[in-house]
A and B are shown apart, each in its own frame.
Chain A
Amino acid sequence: MERHEYDVVVIGAGGAGLRAAIEARQQGKRTAIICKSLFGKAHTVMAEGGAAAAMGNVNSDDNWMVHFRDTMRGGKFLNNWRMAELHAKEAPDRVWELEAWGALFDRTKDGKISQRNFGGHEYPRLAHVGDRTGLEMIRTLQQRVVALQQEDFAVHGDYEAYIKVFAECTVTRLLKDDGAISGAFAYWRETGKFIVFDAPAVVLATGGIGKSYVVTSNSWEYTGDGHALALLAGAQLINMEFIQFHPTGMVWPPSVRGILVTESVRGDGGVLRNSLGERFMFNYVPDVFKDKYATSEEEGDRWYTDQANNRRPPELLPRDEVARAINAEVKAGRGSPQGGVFLDVSSRLPAAEIIKRLPSMHHQFKELADVDITKEPMQVGPTCHYIMGGVEVDADTGAASVPGLFAAGEVSGGMHGSNRLGGNSLSDLLVFGRRAGAGASQYVDGLTRRPAVTGVEEAMAEAVAPLERGGGENPYELHHELQRTMNELVGIIRKAGEVGDALDVVEKLKERAHNTASTGGKIYNPGWHLALDLRNMLLVSECVAKAALIREESRGGHTRDDYPGMSPDWRRKLLVCSAPPDGSEVTVVEKEQPSMRDDLITLFDRGELSKYVTEDELAEYDAALAAKKRES
């Protein structure tokens, strides 16, 4: 069997994985990058709007503290505040670094990186390139990897001496030795042959889980592999009940349902209307945000040109608010003909400007839906987009609870709390990708012996099983059933009874998944690949549903019809999922979230905090504030 030795193995070649690998290689570690698709095609390529970083290029009042506050507010204060702090402080450096590696962002008049408005961000903050920022980011990181390979070639005569990409290669198990990571087991998609990575440190950067839902902006890669690999290796997942339904996905034609319509459409002036022509978002500003958003269309419109003297329009509320509002309008019978609402930018900007600012949206609607967005409104509705939950990690190093295991990017949990702000993912990938790469390198430096690879036989038996069964379940059918179930029963609005039903279905599907059969051989066989992905999707869906059933409140990406309010007591609680190595059953336990550091909590004013936290926490805040005053 093919076998390779590395210091650090990074699973995933999106923004987080590439940034982690670059860091590990820059710290002198022999690094492998493994990915399911071709190099340069990871999900990050689809990101449109931009990367949030408080550089203050467009509004000089912006700084890390404002960004930190916005992030915590967006996440309804459930965020791991240390991650939110590091993220806000380090994002500008990470974006500037991309520029030094060749990225070409759009510019301000004075030649700096331009920044655009996005939901939940107080100031224009998203570095962008039109509406194809993810492409720019992934290409830049890919080209940085190539640059490092060229350096290695110059010195060692081998491009792959220190960093090598294993593309179209899927990891199905993490390997361990005496409780610590010792490597990973994978198969080549092209040949079906197996491959073992012998490495003391693994960084998971596998992205999200959207393929458990029918209507999603995510691609086939998003089968929750990293989440499942971590669970099966003994690590914990947190916040799995929080899933972001992006408010604006395409709703027609059916084959493109769910494909994303970037938030930049709203950031650049697009407005939402129902079938009566009303700008309904004005009716959905929640109490906690009342004083931050415009109360009239006139004020909202003025904000685009004069932000100092006006409040932003409610179309730019955090995503969970907008998604619920659209959902409610459609349910109330005020939806568009194709089951969404109208998003109009044509009456707000000249055609040439729309094509310049939103080229790929213009192209996407024209090619896929015969809609010219410079002339007519789009029809949009919520789509499963992003999972806030993921591997529980140490904020500073990305380390999971299993020694040698690290995670960064969408597969990690905590940073975004119960709801992620747009643009905060791309910056998250860079900040925590780098930190996880560094964390893994340090971990390797501290080892006194290399752990031994074990468990290869078992991993191989598990992987070939669907090919060896004579007959059995069709993996495509199981997948469709899971997607429908999650969409209908654990979607944007949840009820105890329905989530319970979903769990029953998942339980039965898990049984059936043990009996999938894939026809055909090992060479590039998608039916076989899907059969293996099913284990992961089912495990992750079980986590989502179980946590959703336990959390009896509504917050961010978790809305319970039977518990519509946000509860300060629940704010302090994280739900932690774990599972045995065979994945037979997910257990969920509650864990208390540590109190925010004094210098961070005092960045908020009391009035705002009181909407989120308990009386006890307010007393702590008062004490912290008094101490701060005494010092100054």
Chain B
Amino acid sequence: MRIAGCIAILVVITGAALAADIPQSDRRSGTSFMGPDSKAMQDDDTANPGMLWVLDGEALWKRKAGTADKACADCHDDARTSMKGVAARYPAFARALGKPIDLEQRINLCRSNHQQATPFAYESHELLALTAFVAEQSRGMPIATGDDPELAPFIERGHALFMQRQGQLNLGCANCHNDNWDRKLAGSPITQGQPTGYPLYRLEWQSLGSLQRRLRACITGIRAQAYDYGSPELVELELYLMTRARGMTMETPAVRP
């Protein structure tokens, strides 16, 4: 009995040592890993290229579209009040669909159901612009994703995907973002993989990009098969990352190298 108990405890301890979640007090946004130039660019709205998408998003918010000939603003009014805090709790559980959806999918649902317009393609300028505009209304607020109990099994699946080793390099997200975030991969700092600033302007992309684009880049980096945009797996990963980041500050539109 006692030996079995000891073994069980040992297993728990080594398991924790190998892939320990980051303690709350050690959590850091990708921003804190950047050099002063990129930080200055993020902090100054007149220098932050992401603000161009936010401005376009604001124009789209007010523009009538689709057979319904309605603008987002016709239903939601002033985004500064109606959209405050919304992005900070996405992905959220969509009861009609029985699964979580991310902010891009929520925007496209409004487009098809309420505006009766064709959904925007993933990474299209319009979808990035509207998402950035909506998410910017939560800038400075704490992330609050994951309250709905219906989300629990999906968060668990996202967590499993985060831990899973995959690809020709046989690495899991946790190997880098939980276990080695204070280190460097070739020249780049390995951050904690926090989702605080999306959509964000990445200098390497010369564009704004979604969290799903970033996840697909890491998955391809370990030479695994990237999940399709909008796939349940990517939404589950986004959901897990956002619940992992609960309480951290929303920074959309952030800048990254």
Tell whether A and B belong to one assembly.
no
Hey, which bits of chain A sit against chain B, CB under 8 A? none
